[in-house]
Every structure is written in C-alpha cells, then in structure tokens.
Amino acid sequence: MNSERTSNATLASRVGPQLRPRPGGFWRGLVSSVVEWLSFIRFSHTVFALPFALAGMAVAARENRGWPGWRTFGLILAAMVSARTCAMAFNRIVDRHFDALNPRTAHRHLPTGRISLTAAWTLWTLSGAGLVAVSWWLNPLCFVLSPVALFVICFYSVTKRFTPYTHLFLGAALGLAPVGAWLAVKGGDVTWLDGLRMFVLAGSVVFWVAGFDIIYSLQDYEFDRRHGLHSLPVAWGPKNALLAAFLSHMLMMAGLLLFGLLCRFRVAYLAGWFIILVCVLLEHWIARRRSLNWVQTAFFRLNALISVVFLAVTLAEVVFQGGFRLRF
C-alpha cells in the first residue's frame, strides 16, 4: 500500500502542474469562449444601431412617456441582438476568403481557425431563427416582415461583389433598426404621421451609415482595387468618395432636423443636433487631415457618440415634456 502511494505521488510530480486541475479553470474557459464569440460578431458595434432602435421605440411609445413595457422592451433587445448576430455571422462567412488575403483582416476568427465554419453557420442559423421567433412574440406584422428583414441585413455582405454603392445597402440594413422597434411597439396601428417619421429617421440612419462606411472603406482601397471588389473609393477615387461621404452626412443632418420638426421636439433635441453636427465635422476633418490609422477613432468613437447623443436627447424630449418647441 505504501509503495502504491509512493508511486502515485511520483507520477503526480512527473505530470507537472500544467496537467493538474486549476481552480476556476472552467469559468475562465467559459468567459474566454464568450469573449471570443462576442469579438467574432463585433458586439461592441451594437452601439451604432441599438440607440436609434431605442429612440424609435421611445417615440412610438410617446403616449406612455417612451416606455412600452418590460415585455416589449425585452423582445426588442432580443430582436436587435438576433438580427445583428445573424448579419455579422453571414458577413464573416461570405467574406472569409477575402479576409484571409487582407492583412488588415487576416487575424479574424475564420481565417485563423479560432472559430470553425460549421460553428459560424450554426450561429447564423440560430440567430436568424431567433429573430423570426421573437418577431412572432411581438406582433403579427413584425412576424410577417421578419424574413424581409433577414434578407436585407444579410444581402449587404454580397453587394461588394457587384456594386460600388454597397455603403447604401449597409445603411439600409441598419436603417431597419428604428423601423423595427417602432413597429414592435405600434404593430399595425401606425398612422400616416408615424410612417413619415419612421421613413425620415430610417433615411437619416441610411445616410449616416453610408457616410462613415465610405470613410472606413478607405483602409481597404488598394486591396479592393486589386481583388476586384467594389466600393465608392474604388469607383470614384478617394477624394471624390470623401466628398460623397460628406454630402451623405449633410443629408443625414437634414433628416435628423426634419425628424425633430415632425416630432415637435424642443431645445434639448436642437442642442443634441448641434453636438452631432460637430462630431460629423470632426470625423471628416480626421479623415482628410490624418493618416488612415486615425480612421478607427473617427469610425468607432465619434459615431458611437453620435448614436448615444441622439438617444439621450430623444429620450429627454419624450420623457420630459414642456419648454421651447421646434415648429414647422
């Protein structure tokens, strides 16, 4: 018996600490896996579309001070997460070969094998099915329109192969966010004024996204041109593309101002509009005056600030009523 214990102790010492169970190893592995999947779908970029969706929800539920109830709110969040996960998974799948060739994207999960293609397809299927299921729980109109939404948000990923206006398709995909949230609250009970407000807000998001995606695509100008991929910088040249991005953002600013007028918003919204304008101008200053290494700053931080400011001032107008009114 003693010799057996000695033998076991000797074996344990030879195995070494690397194979011994480590306290908390399971939880560290779980957290690491979650972080990996969140990075795969660029979960941090949810900050772009989600605030506009929540703003649309708040205006649609204006009679109740912007609150549609916990059930509807939770389902809207679930729909947003499902839709964005589905779109990003599809984008990573169909672009995996180009990502492997592009030095800027070669480190992504599918080219490096950190996530398998089968796992990515599974995530795409489950998230798409999740959006349809959540839409069914919301209301019949959302359920009927859910396949259309799935098509639009996934179709963007293939447009770079045949049109330089791929940026507008990405804008349309994100522009569905406030429309979907609005319909989640209202269902089929949408007035003509609701429809006009939704159209103007969605259009503003389309031009906002198209503008900053043109700037972002400048990073891949040489790669896209060599590999036959389409974008506005490739088709028009970087300088003309930057001008198109600026015009797109000016249309966005006009749309946001019109949206405030249609909603009869007040001084808080106007102040937020000016902050957004400053962010847009700063973004274009960075794109023109700084190296492409600064594009990430212009793309993420400033545009995240734009969406958060828009949500904050919209909530302020909906929740806290009274004061100066913007009139037609």
Measured between alpha carbons, how far is residue 39 from residues 97, 153, 219, 259, 327 in Å? 19, 19, 20, 34, 44
Residue-wise DSSP of 147-186: HHHHHHHHHGGGGGGT-TTHHHHHHHHHHHHHHHHHHHHH
Cα–Cα dist 166/173, whole Å: 11
Domain residue ranges of the chain, discontinuous segments joined by +: 46-319
Chain centre distance of CA 97: 23
pLDDT in the model for residue 91: 93
pTM for the predicted model, two decimal places: 0.86
Q: In terms of C-beta density within 10 A (0-12 exposed, 13-18 middle, 19 or more buried), how is residue 28 classed?
A: exposed
| 309 within 8 A of 272, measured Cβ to Cβ | yes
Collapse the DSSP code of 231 into the 3-class scheme (helix H, G, I; strand E, B; otherwise coil) and give the result: coil
Residues 6+ apart with CB under 8 A from 211: 167, 245, 246, 248, 249, 252, 280
At 31-82, the pLDDT tens digits run 677 777 777 777 666 777 899 999 999 999 998 989 999 999 999 999 999 9
| 221 within 8 A of 307, measured Cβ to Cβ | no
pLDDT in the model for residue 22: 54
At 141-166, the pLDDT tens digits run 999 999 999 999 999 999 999 999 99
Spell out the CATH class of 46-319.
mainly alpha
The radius of gyration computed from the CA coordinates of the chain, to the nearest angstrom, equals: 24
Q: Pick the closest to residue 153 from 126, 187, 185, 128 (CA basis).
A: 128
Q: What is the DSSP letter of 113?
A: T
Give me the helix-helix angle, 267-289 and 192-217, nearest 10°.
Answer: 20
Judged by average pLDDT, the poorest of 12-21, 22-31, 107-116, 217-226 is 12-21
Element (H, E) at 301: none
| 40 within 8 A of 115, measured Cβ to Cβ | yes
At 166-185, the pLDDT tens digits run 999 999 999 999 999 999 99
